[in-house]
Amino acid sequence: MSNQDMSDRDWWRQAVVYQVYPRSFADHDGDGVGDLPGITSRVGYLKALGVDAIWLSPFYPSALADGGYDVDDYRDVDPLLGTLADFDAMVAALHDAGIKLIIDIVPNHTSNRHRWFREALAAAPGSPARERYHFRDGTGPDGSEPPSDWPSMFGGPAWHRVPDGQWYLHLFAPEQPDLNWDNPEVREDFLTTLRFWSDRGVDGFRIDVAHALTKDMSDPLPSAPDLPDQQQPLVGDHPIWDRDDAQEVFRGWRKVFDEYDPPRTAVAEAWCHPSRRARYAQPESLGQAFNFDLLQADWDASTFRTVITRNLEASEESGSSSTWVLSNHDVVRHASRYGLPIGPNGSGAPAQLGQDGRGWVNSDGTTPQLDPELGLQRARAASLLLLALPGSAYLFQGEELGLHEVADLPHDALQDPTYERSGHQQKGRDGCRVPIPWNREGSSFGFGTGGAHLPQPRWFASVSVQAEQDDPSSTLSLYRAAIAVRARLQGEESLTWVDSAPNLLHFTRPGGWHCLTNLGAAPVDLPDGEVMVTSGPLRDGLLPQDTTAWVVTRR
Ligand code: GLC
């Protein structure tokens, strides 16, 4: 098992981290919503999978305007998910099993039910309570126009008007008012929150939207078309995104993390240009940052090679280790993405964003045609490649079962705010958040005893834990084997490319560990040595297309 030494201060550098989306993992009390006792009851499963840590998406009290990323109280547990005592029991069970816990912190915005926001609404314009957020007067003769024309990330304007006529900023849903990070009380309160959870045994934090936080709201607010393009390398002075002064906040957080032994860790969710990512990953800042480049890459050898090389260089620059992600709660599952044609929303044309699968989801999974077997075969190959890379591997619950996206969720079941705010044009992210199938049969396939808060498709039976756990060819068996072998082979954080045909990704890690992924039509020879794991069957000893193999040439 890879579950690591609990006192190692570098445990995170090459950890396998499994993301649990708590409302969809395991439902202990049978109300259709996953909960903390549900997670505790499945610690044995996580231990057998061999993960080093779990990252727990928000479990705080929330009206679920954005899947829990609208937090009412940062220092409590949603009653639907349990209590603080349940949290403590979960931490104890995870730690007993040698598994660390990373929790999500959402600092850019609170929910509109947070005590501070309620106080702000009750208080007058210009009052200290409003200073914790970005309230301001509107424009136009009677102030009935928003302060600027900025769009929100979920569609519609980024400003919402309150009854006394002022407007507040929300870069996401209106139920997620943005905090004012120039306010010392806001800064201080988050330090209290970080200590609150660290004192309860939390080992690390995933920082939501770390690339927003600080903002330049000085007049005049620039118009949206005049804002610098976020996809370009910014220089740290964009009014909203990826500002250099956010690093002051994180340096303060680092001091808190370092009060603990081992120091608490953090990973930034920073959707910024790759050239800017190292700032968040520096040891004096958050220490690690998500790299979403693989997750955004098409199934294409030269793209993968470039992404891997560039990110390993960037991690050297920051002194951190790289992170690798193929799926999470915000994107279409990679088994489905790779079964769609390449191009914008599966159009077949080359595209920057590539196989993102959004258009396919919007068509309820009808257009373009998904090739589910091909998608799964490639997903298994990609996951085995990911697990061979130096750095930490972040997995999303259900990918170890080879789950596909549930693209045909009925529209009246959708929960993602994107759906309403896009005028029903975008179905949103619910298709990867459907509760996990544990059993072949039963109410909600063993998720709980009282149904599931998002409907599960019938095909979940054949990809349930029960269906896969004793099948050596299942995706679950592949992940278990790969994680166990990885733990044995893992060494220094370095990788060397081996010269090979353009469609073959072949690299070595220290200790004679070779990883080969064949994206070309012609089967290829493996190096002489012991074949440790393959993502699919070899053909006459050769590595077929869309397959990965690990070979050890000397021990
Ligand atoms: C992050 C989360 C996403 C959420 C958003 C707003 O991007 O991953 O799920 O909707 O932040 O909090």
Listing DSSP states for 401-438 in one string gives GTPPP-TT--GGG---HHHHHTTTS---SGGG-SPPP-
Residue carrying structure tokens 């929910």: 111
Model confidence pLDDT, tens digit, residues 382-422:
999 999 999 999 999 999 999 999 999 999 999 999 999 99
Q: CA 285, CA 253: separation in Å to the nearest integer?
A: 8
CB-based contacts of 219: which residues, under 8 Å, 6+ apart?
none
Q: How far apart, in whole angstroms, are the C-alpha atoms of residue 73 and residue 110?
A: 8
Mean pLDDT in order along the chain per 10 residues (555 residues): 64 98 98 98 98 98 97 98 98 98 98 98 98 98 97 95 98 98 98 98 98 96 91 86 96 98 97 91 96 92 96 92 97 96 60 71 94 98 98 98 98 96 95 98 95 98 98 98 98 96 97 98 98 98 98 85
Please report the pLDDT score of residue 200 as a whole number: 98
Looking at 236-338, list the stretches that DSSP marks H as alpha helix, in order from N- to C-terminal side: 246-257, 277-281, 293-296, 301-318, 334-337
Exposed/middle/buried for residue 242 (C-beta within 10 Å: 0-12, 13-18, 19+): buried
Q: Residue 456's CB: how many other CB atoms inside 10 A?
A: 20
What is the phi/psi pair of residue 33, to 5°? -120, 130
Quick: pLDDT tens for 133-157. 999 999 999 999 999 999 999 999 9
Q: Is 172's C-beta closer than 6 angstroms to any atom of ligand 1?
A: yes
Query: Cα of 206 to ligand 1 centre, how many Å?
Result: 11
Q: Is the CB of 106 under 6 A from ligand 1?
A: yes
pLDDT number for residue 234: 81
CA 105 to ligand 1 centroid distance, Å = 11
CA–CA separation, 17 and 20 (whole Å): 10
CB-CB contact of 480 with 50 (8 Å): yes
Is residue 208 among the annotated active site residues?
A: yes
The closest residue, in CA terms, to atom 4 on ligand 1 is 69
Tokens at 227, concatenated: 């804002």
Are the C-beta atoms of residues 99 and 47 closer than 8 Å to each other? yes
**What single DSSP character describes residue 290?**
-
Indicate whether residue 154 lines ligand 1 (CB < 6 A).
no
User: Are 463 and 446 within 8 A, CB to CB?
Assistant: no
Reading the block at residue 453, the tokens are 């808060």
Q: Whose CA is nearest to atom 3 of ligand 1?
A: 330
Q: What is the pLDDT of residue 351?
A: 42
56 lines ligand 1 (CB under 6 A): no
